[in-house]
A and B are shown apart, each in its own frame.
Chain A
Amino acid sequence: MQITEFMGDDHQRCDHIFARAEESVSKGDWSNAADINRQFVDAMEHHFRMEEEMLFPRFEEVSGHTMGPTEVMRHEHRQMRQLFEQMNRAAADQSVDDYLGASETLLILMQQHNAKEEQMLYPMSDQVLAGEQDELINKLEAVE
């Protein structure tokens, strides 16, 4: 399996939870919404850990670029975490407007971020890390 496919599938998994969270918030179904929101943020944080703890360091090591694309990806992770906080707060306050404002902002940021990873960074990783993809994916799967 390729890194592009493995990590791309995980993006999709996060996207689907995201859509469910937004939907239950828009219906004002807070008993489920808070729970799905937590699932979503957990799934995203898990994805970020796979990248920040495993994929990015290995990519940087082999390609020799430490201030390049991975640094921008980390910067966008920080921006997304800031929006997670806003969503968590809105979920705690049960504020539909605040939640959907933050979530729609996140959606666009997250999608353009994912597109850059899926169309550029992951294929570059597959190229640079050819031969050790299976081993790396095993390690990615083991990330808690």
Chain B
Amino acid sequence: MNVAFLSLAQSPPLSVPLRFFLTAPLFGMAAGMLLLFADAEILSNRWSIDTLLMVHMITLGVVSMVMIGALQQLLPVLMGVVIPRADLVSRLLHFLWTVGTLLLLMGMAQQQPALTGSGVALLATATLLFVTMILYALLRSDSKHGTLTAIAGSVISLLLTLLLMLWILNSSGWNAPVAHPLTNLHMSWGLLGWFLLLLIGIAYQVVPMFQITPEFSPAVRRTLAPTIFVALVIWSGAEFLQQAWLGWLAIAGLVVAVGLFAVILLWLQQQRKRRLPDVTLNYWRISMIAFLVSIILWLTGYLQEDSRWMESAVSIFLMGGILSAVSGMLFKIVPFLVWLHLNNLYQSEGEWQGNVPNVRQVIPAVYSLWQFRVQMVALGLVTIAPLELLLDQQSQYIAQAAGIAWIGSFVLMLMALLSARSKYQSALSSLSESKSA
């Protein structure tokens, strides 16, 4: 039996997740800048270098960045496993991931195989380190919760996403191609495997916790994540074996599983006992609605054999489904971590009622509310942009407006996070003053 799991030192230092959370909005702003200055077709044409760059700024720079940071924090709390040398590991991962992403983006933009290759080398090293660490920790966990399976599926999917990227680049002379026979698989393992499975695993725990809703039923927790993972495996097999019917089967499984997840989560939230206004709740709802909309758009495109609907589905899935839930979680996790670390420090100094700001003081509700509003405007503009193409009317204005809105939303997010950090630091310094006094 593993009893070290609840040691007092189980929560890693605040800087472990925070350095990732503070970096993410910077990549988000860069994506907004690209949107602002690129050609109008960036939002409606998947097959351009600008689109490829923007997608990777969001997926690697924002979403993965936050998820890698958050998992290092959540694993000890939710799974009861301590990561040894947490601070060193976090610094190393952060360096590899940030520089790797920057090099890859530069390599893609300038079509420089050397830059692309070195970026990939750093990202691959980070991925191997991260995935090994997480899987090792999961193996040692006593938890039997469905979250464990979902997280395992998620990090294995990250590894497969990376391998597919290596395959794609290797067969294209290390120049990122805008289209490749394996692009769809690479994207599906990233979005549905690495991102969505992690989100599902986290949702099992945090949705009932924060809104006081009923739990996801054990049958759902046992089957949902494995279904998605197996469907992705089957889909990959179908692509390699060129078996269309097998692909159909997998796609049907994915559509049903993602749809069920969104519907169940919305239904549980309907039964929540906690009825107070809450930005995180809003974000989760938007996220689930975005998943449902993206399924409908994707199926429409699939049946009509019109890829534009499907591209639109992918962008709503990522910017609306994944990114909304990630933003919502940041506004919940960061204030609590600041409070928890300060509280532990004050207590270890023997001061029980120190100047510890509560979660509503760490990030005031008005910050998160405005950030939410601006991000929703940005999401709305990204969502309607491809419709222009369907109407055969392209205008530069929507992409530019979307660019400005995304920059604004990430600036507000960064400001909220920085203000949380400064509250932490000022409480720390007032503690050390009271000690020296």
Contacts and interface: CB of A to CB of B under 8 A. Distances in A.
A1 interface: no
Contact of B212 (A16, A69, A82, A112): A16
Interface stretch (A17-25, A30-38, A133-141): A17-25
Contact of A97 (B78, B212, B347, B360): B360
A132 B402 CA distance: 63
B222 interface: no
Nearest to A97: B360
20 contacts: A15-B212, A18-B212, A19-B275, A23-B276, A26-B276, A68-B7, A69-B3, A78-B347, A79-B347, A86-B358, A100-B276, A101-B359, A104-B358, A107-B274, A112-B78, A112-B209, A115-B209, A116-B6, A120-B80, A121-B6
B216 interface: no
Interface string A27-59: 000000000000000000000000000000000
A53 to B, nearest CB: 20
Given A69-B3, A102-B358, 7 more contacts: A15-B273, A19-B275, A68-B6, A105-B358, A116-B80, A120-B142, A121-B6
B424 to A, nearest CB: 14
Contacts of B353: 82, 85
B210 A108 contact: yes
Nearest to A111: B209
Contacts of A115: 78, 205, 209
Contact of B6 (A82, A105, A120): A120
B380 to A, nearest CB: 29
Interface residues of B, number: 35
Contacts of A63: 1, 3
B339 interface: yes
Contact of A79 (B205, B332, B343): B343
Contacts of B209: 108, 111-112, 114-115
B322 to A, nearest CB: 23
B367 interface: no
Interface string A53-93: 00000000001010011011101001100100110000000
A129 interface: no
A85 B339 CA distance: 16
A22 B343 CA distance: 22
B143 A100 contact: no
Interface in B75-116: 77-78, 80
A117 to B, nearest CB: 10
Interface in B1-46: 1, 3-8, 10
Contact of A109 (B212, B275, B340): B340
Contacts of A114: 209
Contacts of A112: 77-78, 209
Is chain A's interface secondary structure helix, strand, loop, or mixed overall? helix
Contacts of B80: 116, 119-120
Contacts of B4: 68
Contact of B273 (A16, A100, A109): A16
Contacts of B332: 108
Interface in B51-69: none
A105 B5 contact: no
A73 B276 contact: no
B5 A119 contact: no
A123 B273 contact: no
A22 B274 contact: yes
A123 B142 CA distance: 10
Contacts of A85: 353
A102 B210 CA distance: 14
Contact of B145 (A65, A82, A111, A119): A119
Contact of A69 (B6, B273, B359, B360): B6
B235 to A, nearest CB: 32
B215 to A, nearest CB: 10
A73 B212 CA distance: 21
Nearest to A73: B6
A108 B8 contact: no
B144 interface: yes
Contact of A19 (B273, B352, B358): B273
Interface string B329-366: 00010001001100100010000110000111100000
Contact of B360 (A78, A101, A116): A101
Nearest to B336: A108
The 5 closest A-B pairs by CB, nearest first: A111-B209, A101-B358, A19-B273, A69-B6, A101-B360
Contact of B210 (A18, A23, A111): A111
Nearest to A124: B1
Contacts of B205: 115
A97 to B, nearest CB: 7
A72 B1 CA distance: 17
